Amino acid sequence: MKHFKFIETIIYVEDQEASCEFYRNIFRKTADLNVPGMTEFILSDDFKFGIMPNKGIAKILEGKTPHPDSGTGIPRCELYLYADDIQFEFDNAVKSGAKLISPIIDRDWGDRVCYFSDPDGHIIAFAEKIIKED
């Protein structure tokens, strides 16, 4: 049974405008919403990816957790995206200025994956299932 109707993941960033441009290039689409304080990309029928500036979430958290600026550059999340063409996504990420963490490698969990980081240190993985020959 499904308990959730829709999923949105929001990352916190130092520079919303720069991150919007970065992810526009990574996703190869314009943001579906881009207003001061929030950028959103609808990536599938049931998933939305959001970008919120550190200062925006800091107002909401109001001293209950460390300020998001103290985590900039430290991996705080991973966006794991299954791709139709991993080599195309790899090449596009390099062209878009993503920092290469790991090239395309077959992993022991059954995926072929490469890893990058965005300007704030968030991890982006592009993956495809390894097809086993019987």
Mean pLDDT of 64-82: 81
Give the per-residue pLDDT at 90: 98
Percent of the chain at pLDDT above 90? Answer: 74
* Amino acid, single-letter form, for residue 89: E
Cα torsion angle, 66, 71, 74, 75, sign: positive
Give CA–CA dist 22/97, Å, rounded.
8
Q: Evaluate whether residue 51 is within a structural domain.
A: yes
Domain CATH for 18: 3.10.180.10
pTM for the structure as a whole: 0.87
Q: Evaluate whether residue 102 is within a structural domain.
A: yes
82-134 pLDDT tens trace: 999 999 999 999 999 999 999 999 999 999 999 999 999 999 999 999 986 65
- Cβ–Cβ < 8 Å for 86, 127: yes
pLDDT greater than 90 at residue 9: yes
Q: Evaluate whether residue 2 is within a structural domain.
A: no
Q: Where residue 2 falls among pLDDT bands split at 50, 70, 90?
A: confident
Higher-pLDDT residue of 58 and 82 is 82
pLDDT greater than 80 at residue 43: yes
Percent of the chain at pLDDT above 70? Answer: 97
Question: How many separate domains does the chain show?
Answer: 1
Give CA–CA dist 21/44, Å, rounded.
19
Strands (E), the chain: 7-13, 33-35, 38-44, 47-53, 78-82, 99-106, 111-117, 123-129
Q: Evaluate whether residue 77 is within a structural domain.
A: yes
Give CA–CA dist 36/51, Å, rounded.
10
Mean pLDDT of 23-34: 98
Give the per-residue pLDDT at 133: 60
Give CA–CA dist 122/108, Å, rounded.
23
Domain housing 106? 7-129
Give CA–CA dist 60/38, Å, rounded.
13
Tell me the pairing of strands 99-106 and 111-117: antiparallel
Q: Evaluate whether residue 1 is within a structural domain.
A: no
